[in-house]
Amino acid sequence: MRVPIFKQGQYLIASIQDDLTDSDLSLLRDDLGVGVGQQRIRGVIIDVTVLDVMDSFAARTLRDLARILKLRGAETVIVGIQPEVAYSMVRLGLSLDGVETALDLEEGLALLDYQTKPGGRRGR
Amino acid sequence: MAENISSAQQRSWMNELGLSEQEIAQRKAFLNFSDDDAQRLQALHSLAQRYAEGVIDDFYQHLLSFEESRRFFTDPAVLNRVKAAQKQYFLQLTQGQYDTGYVEDRLRIGIAHERINLPFELYLGAYNFYLRAVLQRVVEEYKNTPEQVTTTFTSLLKLVFLDMSLAIETYLSQRERVIREQHEAIREISTPVLPLRERLLLMPIIGAMDPPRAQQLTTQLLHGIRAHRAKAVVMDITGVLTVDSAVANHLIQAVQSARLMGTTVIVSGLSPEVAHALVRIGIDLTMVTTVGTLQDGIEAAEQLLGYTVTKNGTCHTPSPEKGAS
Amino acid sequence: MADDTRVAIRSDTDIVIARQKGRALAAHLGFSSTDQTLIATAISEVARNILRYAKTGEIRFQTETNGKAAMTIVAHDEGPGIPDVAVALQNGYSTSGSLGMGLPGSKRIMDEFMIVSEVGKGTTVTMKKRRN
């Protein structure tokens, strides 16, 4: 199942709708890579609110994705990690080092603005 | 793919009380309760039907002779209902089928009695009465074959002990449920999550921190973050009695979990001595923002959120004459 | 009561099915929401190991309701086996990108954890969690 990706200004928003299989996740990673390459995208938000499990494959794929996108000039923010999911990830020792996270879409967009727009972090 | 659980099973008392079919079989084996016993009891059924009414009447006469049990049966309609139910219960002892249906029934009745707060000894007392009443009549019935008295009565004893173990189970489980609920309530009360300002929470932790509490605490923190959309949390551990490596690890996990939700946790109340001790044994606190006092913690959080707190003049105490209510 | 439920692992969809079934079973046993997620995550890890290293296998669920409720997950495959279990349990999630086996993490969150593996024969991971 393909994850729908929306464009909002210079950002892409990937909104996960359902439990993802490994191939869905890999497909998302590829789709975003292509999307960022084709258009002048400064930031990507991946909304995982709906996910009730984030395991080592998901964590690794998201870390890889953030790295790839960074090389193409885009910042990545993961939003919507749920309480139980966050706790399980930490208990399992999974890390999202190198990937920014935010509470929800609103916070994610604010963070991207801060990171990418003049006057924000980049602007200094 | 086998479908998991039917809705009938979901309501089952055996499930509720954690009794599997295996467990029941084990109990029967322990009591040496076999199909022979079932047959012997079934042979008593027509006899039981004949004197059930009499036994039940005698039992309630006996029960009502005690003041403390009278108060449960002041309403005659209630008494009649209960007698009818008891007669059924009594007849069930000799109907010959002692499978999960029988067990479910016994559990259900036990729960019903526990719920009306019927004292346990009254409930068990009924069994004793039945045994005495039945023995009399079995001796009478099998007077020409006295060895049958022993074997039949032994079968009945086995079944009654099985029944009593189920009755004890129901009473115990209800007590345990109440204790669990109280524990849960205490845990929640003892770790409040307080909104201090918009997007800022305060979580004062008091007392000991064992693994279950740490998990409960972290869950409460994370749910609080979601509910209040907190960007910063001051977790004050001044009141935590012992901060050892286990507690430190729990705190680190709480901080890491919160970060995954985009929230910064500032841990206040960690004394420098304890911090040094933890670092010495190898706990990595570099990822955790720690400050000395609660005030420091709140100030740090406010700064993080972009608040500036200013003082404009001296403190005013309300004067008694003005606007007296 | 279903004392023994199985999920065959043949594709990555099965990983999702296995963890959803595990979660449902845990919920029925009365595990907290947090514990349900921990269990589902551990199932995801071992199911993926089956798929990656053995191509096929199965996840079996066993439940206990005597006194303290408990759930046992058995992940079994007839794949290549793990040459050095001790090492596999040491290597955590590799940050270099190569596939770590995800076992140490699962071991941490379950109450009991056991691996039996023989090169050329297969691997069986048995893990158990008790309800509080």
CATH classification of the domain holding C82: 3.30.565.10
In a domain, B221, yes or no: yes
Contact B222 A102 (CB under 8 A): no
In a domain, B164, yes or no: yes
Looking at the structure, tell me whether residues B176 and B59 fall in a common domain.
yes
Lowest-confidence segment of B77-91, C41-55, C102-116 by average pLDDT:
B77-91
Question: Is residue B290 helix, strand or coil?
Answer: strand
Residues of A in contact with C44 (CB under 8 A): 53, 55, 57
Angle (nearest 5°) at CA A63 between A58 and A69: 120
C59 strand-pairing partners: C7, C75
Looking at the structure, tell me whether residues B244 and B172 fall in a common domain.
no
- pLDDT band, very low/low/confident/very high, at B106 (cuts 50, 70, 90): confident
Give the structural domain span for B63: 13-187
Q: Do residues B114 and B171 touch, judged by C-beta distance below 8 A?
A: yes
Gap between the Cα atoms of B139 and B154, Å rounded: 13
Per-residue tokens: B152: 């039949």
CATH classification of the domain holding B234: 3.30.750.24
Report the DSSP pairing between strands C57-64 and C4-9: antiparallel
Contact A93 C104 (CB under 8 A): yes
In a domain, B249, yes or no: yes
Contact A93 C105 (CB under 8 A): yes
- Tell me the percentage of chain B whose pLDDT exceeds 90: 33
Give the structural domain span for C39: 4-130
In a domain, B132, yes or no: yes
| Distance from the B229 Cα atom to the nearest Cα atom in chain A, whole angstroms | 7
Residues of B in contact with A89 (CB under 8 A): 257, 260
Closest CA to C45 of C5, C92, C84, C83: C92
Lowest-confidence segment of A31-40, B133-142, B313-322 by average pLDDT:
B313-322
Looking at the structure, tell me whether residues B166 and B287 fall in a common domain.
no
In a domain, B201, yes or no: yes
Residues C6-36: tens digit of each pLDDT:
999 999 999 999 999 999 999 988 899 999 9
Token pair 């007839």 is found at C78
CATH classification of the domain holding B59: 1.10.490.10
A69 Ramachandran zone, left/alpha/beta (phi>0; psi -120 to 50): alpha
Burial B49-85 (b: 16+ CB within 10 A, else e): eebbeebbeebbeebeeeeebeebeeeeeeeeebbee
Looking at the structure, tell me whether residues B221 and B182 fall in a common domain.
no
Q: Do residues B120 and B172 touch, judged by C-beta distance below 8 A?
A: no
Residue type (1 letter), A43 = G
pLDDT above 80 for C132: no
Residues of C in contact with B5 (CB under 8 A): 1-2, 28
Q: Do residues C114 and C125 touch, judged by C-beta distance below 8 A?
A: yes
Domains of chain A: 5-116 (3.30.750.24)
Contact A83 B215 (CB under 8 A): no
Gap between the Cα atoms of C117 and C57, Å rounded: 14
In a domain, B295, yes or no: yes
- Residue C103 has what pLDDT? 85
Residues B263-313: tens digit of each pLDDT:
999 999 988 888 888 888 888 888 888 888 999 999 999 999 988 888 887
Does the complex come out with an ipTM higher than 0.90? yes
B214-238: average pLDDT: 94
Considering only the beta carbons, identify the residue of A87, A108, A111 that sits closest to B218: A87
C-alpha distances (whole Å) from B34 to each of B37, B39, B96, B246, C102 are 5, 9, 11, 52, 49
- Residue B37 has what pLDDT? 94
Specify the higher pLDDT residue, B177 or B10.
Answer: B177
Q: Do residues B161 and B104 touch, judged by C-beta distance below 8 A?
A: no
Gap between the Cα atoms of C38 and C106, Å rounded: 9
Contact B226 A111 (CB under 8 A): no
Contact B4 C66 (CB under 8 A): no
pLDDT above 90 for C43: yes
Contact C20 A19 (CB under 8 A): yes
Looking at the structure, tell me whether residues B121 and B217 fall in a common domain.
no
Looking at the structure, tell me whether residues B220 and B274 fall in a common domain.
yes
Residues in chain B: 325
Looking at the structure, tell me whether residues B54 and B141 fall in a common domain.
yes
Per-residue tokens: B229: 């959309």
Contact C2 B18 (CB under 8 A): no
- Helix-helix angle B120-141:B45-64, to 10 degrees: 140
Q: Which residue of B has its CA nearest to A87?
A: B257
Specify the higher pLDDT residue, B264 or B21.
Answer: B264
Considering only the beta carbons, identify the residue of A90, A102, A111 that sits closest to B257: A90
Gap between the Cα atoms of A62 and A20, Å rounded: 13
Residues of B in contact with A101 (CB under 8 A): 259-262
Question: Is residue B75 helix, strand or coil?
Answer: coil
Looking at the structure, tell me whether residues B212 and B162 fall in a common domain.
no
Residue pairs spanning A and C at CB distance below 8 A: 75
The total of structural domains in chain C comes to: 1
Using beta carbons and an 8 Å cutoff, which residues of B are at the interface with A? 215, 218-219, 222-223, 225-226, 229, 231, 253, 256-263
- Residue B321 has what pLDDT? 62
Q: Name the H helices within C1-132.
A: 12-28, 33-49, 85-90, 103-109
The total of structural domains in chain B comes to: 2
Per-residue tokens: C64: 């206990």
Token pair 């009278």 is found at B70
Closest CA to A27 of C55, A96, A35: A35
Residues of B in contact with C2 (CB under 8 A): 2, 4-5
Looking at the structure, tell me whether residues B264 and B226 fall in a common domain.
yes
What does the longest C-alpha to C-alpha distance in chain C come to? Answer: 45
Residues of A in contact with C36 (CB under 8 A): 84
Among B14, B15, B30, the residue to mutate for chain C (most C Cβ within 10 A) = B15
In a domain, B2, yes or no: no
| Distance from the B248 Cα atom to the nearest Cα atom in chain C, whole angstroms | 17
Residue type (1 letter), C71 = M
Answer whether C28 touches B (CB < 8 Å). yes
Q: Do residues B199 and B232 touch, judged by C-beta distance below 8 A?
A: yes
Which of B187, B217, B248 finishes a domain? B187
Residue type (1 letter), C49 = N
| Distance from the C27 Cα atom to the nearest Cα atom in chain A, whole angstroms | 14
Looking at the structure, tell me whether residues B243 and B141 fall in a common domain.
no
- pLDDT band, very low/low/confident/very high, at C58 (cuts 50, 70, 90): very high
Looking at the structure, tell me whether residues B230 and B107 fall in a common domain.
no
Other CB atoms within 10 A of residue A39 CB? 10
Residues B171-197: tens digit of each pLDDT:
888 888 888 888 878 877 777 899 999
Answer whether B287 touches C (CB < 8 Å). no
The secondary element (H helix, E strand) that includes residue C62 is strand C57-64
Q: Name the H helices within B65-145.
A: 67-70, 76-92, 100-115, 120-141
Could you say which residues of chain A have pLDDT below 70?
A: 119-124
- pLDDT band, very low/low/confident/very high, at C94 (cuts 50, 70, 90): very low
C41-61: average pLDDT: 95
Residues of A in contact with B260 (CB under 8 A): 81, 85-86, 89-90, 96, 101
Looking at the structure, tell me whether residues B180 and B203 fall in a common domain.
no
Work out the mean pLDDT of chain B and round it to a whole number.
85
